[in-house]
Chains A and B, each alone.
Chain A
Amino acid sequence: MIYLDNAATTAPFAEALHRYEEVSTIAFGNSSSNHGVGRQAQKILEESRREILSLLNVAKTHGMVFTGGATEANNIAIKGIALRYASRGKRIITTAYEHPSVLEAFRYLERQHGFEVIVLPVDPRGFVRPEDLEKAMDDKTILVSVMLINNELGTINDIAALKAVIAKYPKCLFHVDATQAIGKWHGDFSLADILTFSGHKFGAVKGIGGLVFRNSIQFANIESGGDQENGIRPGTVNVAGAASMAAALRKCYEQMPRFQKKCADLYGELYRFLSETDGIELNSNPLSASQSPFVLSFSFLAKKASVIVEALSMKEIYVSSVSACSEKTPVSRSVLAIGKSSRLAENSIRVSFGHDSTLEDVKSFESALAKAMEEVRSL
């Protein structure tokens, strides 16, 4: 099996699985229980929280609650901020290629709560332009939400430049969906007022995520329940998941230079191959400081991406296409957002590398892709 869909999810690290099992066994108590095994769970939970915040280098300025994943974190962040600070203004800004958990949360606020939603365009290379944000900002703007690394194109937005624009409006908070960046990008996370992410994208188990926020920030109640996680995310806390996420993030940081270098080589090789292959158009940019080496998107000019993905799947090579072959063919929103045709957006493929990816994997993928393109009819 050759797994090149690590932006969808990663295989958990052995360390993360081990930690999950260990905590589930020795400290299975409810972290809210006031007895030995509960306090033990509570202790591990707080250690995990501290470790994650310090690895992200925001421990002094930011706090964190554990969530079920990035989708839940995005919902709490966006709805919780907008509803909490609506009295300051009702204009909120996001971008055209955000994850559905961001875009749909914005749409919900627009429909149900009368917010004015601004959706910023993306430039043809796949970046949110600070000048577009500048034009959209006003005194009534209370929230800007921009993803750090796009989940299909791998473009890295310049959050420092975006933050500089937002900083002129002291009432406005900056949410950064860092789902594809955590564990893979070593920059200044403290630029974000609110950060969201999911553990399973960087080697933790599924079902655990994080909402990191500047200490002064408050959230309106989105989920009703007990006072776990300061009432921001009520419900019994997934302590083993939290510990697993801390273990995974620690490993990511230990290996980051080597991992980045390896993926840069893989990215360079695949990018070269694809640019020399007829019938393919690249959607991602050549490697640079603003291009993640972990995610690469390209489109077929004449072939159907879903068919190629199936052909590769038959050879146990797993990459992702947006299309799951439904009657209403879904399109890649990110590819559309950079101004490509819907034909290209419908027929895009995303390759994403992980810790186990090797150059042989990439070579095998390349020859299988070439063969599939030769064998499969254009439709």
Chain B
Amino acid sequence: MNCQQILIHFGELSTKGGNRKLFINKLGSNIRHALKAFPAVVVTSDHDHIYVELNGEDAERIAAILVEIPGIQRLSFIRRVSKEISAIQAAALEMISEEKGKTFKVDAKRADKTYPLDSYGIARAVGGYILSKTDWKVDVHNPDVHVQVDVRREEAFVSCKTIVGAGGYPLGMNGKAMLLLSGGIDSPVAAYALLRRGIRIECVHFASPPYTSMAVLDKLEDIIGKLSVYQEDIKLNIVPFTKLQEAIYENVDEPYCITIMRRMMVRIAVALAEKEHCLALATGESVGQVASQTLDSMVAINDVTNFPILRPLATSDKLSIIATAKKIDTYEISIRPYQDCCTIFAPKAPKTKPKISECVHYESRFDWKGLVDECVEKVEQVLYVGGKKKQFEN
């Protein structure tokens, strides 16, 4: 497409009052970071928009990156022309010819109040020109193509094409959450929902070798690779969970094992979240999906902390979760057959309405605190940058 600039609209940001500048700066720096492979591109901003000057780079390629960046509501492809009305008309005609549809409308505005035509006059001149040269019809209510003309002091902007962005907020604007990542279908989708909302993520995985296969770590690596499109650097905390899990199964009656296991996971995840300056935990739970995800179970599990637990998929149904997983390309990875700690120890008849008092009773049977502390101390941290393993800590 022959255009020189992509114009970025903020959407929800417009409601943010005093924080607006902060949001725009964050989004601008996220965009610059995402486009760092294109050194010619220049990103500038004002109160209303961010402008991506292409300087010869391919508009479609740049747009494909921009649509994945949270905080962008819409993108418009802009052609810059000289201010003469004939130049504006010619550009509008050429651009609309590249679009599909039958109807259009023209909107114009002029920052340059000395321009010989007023905004209505500009719209009429451009619209009339298109009507005289093509079969397109005008529809001011529901046009297929919206032609926008903006006459500025130095030059004029013409745009015929606007596409929808990822929406949400700029990444990092809303703090960081510690996400429980099992490797299943749901948790990567929860990650995507958080990232779109501008929440950075860090992941925690509970590994119970030999009960769970170490091959699951390759799977997590691949999932993190897919998520790195939205957040480049993702830290994975691998918790050595085997000893604690065995202790649970020695001391707790079978129907309560999963509930107690989830309570322990939350305790460990909260400790890690505090260490890593996360403001919340997050899970891929969806109400009612399995025994540990009933509201009663959530109450019993949540009882161990007052740390907020975000459940972005709480009310999503499985089919829509799967559709999103396919969209973000994690589905095929998630369905690879490895058991995680939840499935291998799955009791035959798990409690769907666990009681807090029973949980406390079972937990009084063994010294879990030392085991929880050990899990937190011995956690293995791996940092992924752009989906590639960067370094080992601890």
Chain A interface residues toward B at CB < 8 A:
304, 306-314, 324-327, 372, 376-377, 379
Contacts and interface: CB of A to CB of B under 8 A. Distances in A.
Interface residues of B, number: 14
Contacts of B246: 377
Contacts of A306: 213, 339
Interface hub of B211, B344, B345 (most chain A Cβ within 10 A): B211
Contacts of B249: 377
Given A325-B338, A326-B337, A377-B246, A307 B210 contact: yes
A321 to B, nearest CB: 11
Given A325-B337, A325-B338, A377-B249, A314 B344 contact: no
B342 to A, nearest CB: 12
A327 B210 contact: no
Contacts, number: 40
A260 B344 CA distance: 40
Interface in B186-230: 209-214
Nearest to A309: B210
Contact of A379 (B209, B213, B337, B345): B345
- Interface residue SS majority, chain A: helix
Contact of B209 (A310, A324, A326, A377): A310
20 contacts: A304-B344, A306-B213, A306-B339, A307-B210, A307-B211, A307-B344, A309-B210, A310-B209, A310-B210, A312-B210, A313-B210, A313-B214, A325-B339, A327-B337, A372-B210, A376-B210, A377-B211, A377-B246, A377-B249, A379-B211
A334 B343 CA distance: 27
- Cβ-closest 9 pairs across A and B: A326-B337, A311-B210, A310-B210, A325-B339, A307-B210, A307-B211, A310-B213, A325-B338, A325-B213
A376 B246 CA distance: 9
Contacts of A379: 211, 344-345
Interface hub of A306, A327, A376 (most chain B Cβ within 10 A): A306
B99 to A, nearest CB: 46
Interface string B227-247: 000000000000000000010
Nearest to B337: A326
Nearest to A328: B337
B344 A308 contact: no
Contacts of B337: 324-327
B345 A308 contact: no
B54 to A, nearest CB: 47
A313 B213 CA distance: 10
A153 B298 CA distance: 48
B64 to A, nearest CB: 36
Nearest to B245: A377
B196 to A, nearest CB: 30
B210 A308 contact: yes
Interface in B248-295: 249
B345 A314 contact: no
B214 A314 contact: yes
B51 to A, nearest CB: 51
B68 to A, nearest CB: 32
Interface string B333-373: 00001110001110000000000000000000000000000
A314 B212 CA distance: 11
Nearest to B336: A326
A314 B213 contact: no
Given A309-B210, A310-B212, 6 more contacts: A307-B210, A307-B211, A310-B209, A311-B210, A314-B209, A325-B337
Contacts of B211: 307, 310, 376-377, 379
Nearest to B211: A307
Contacts of B339: 306, 325
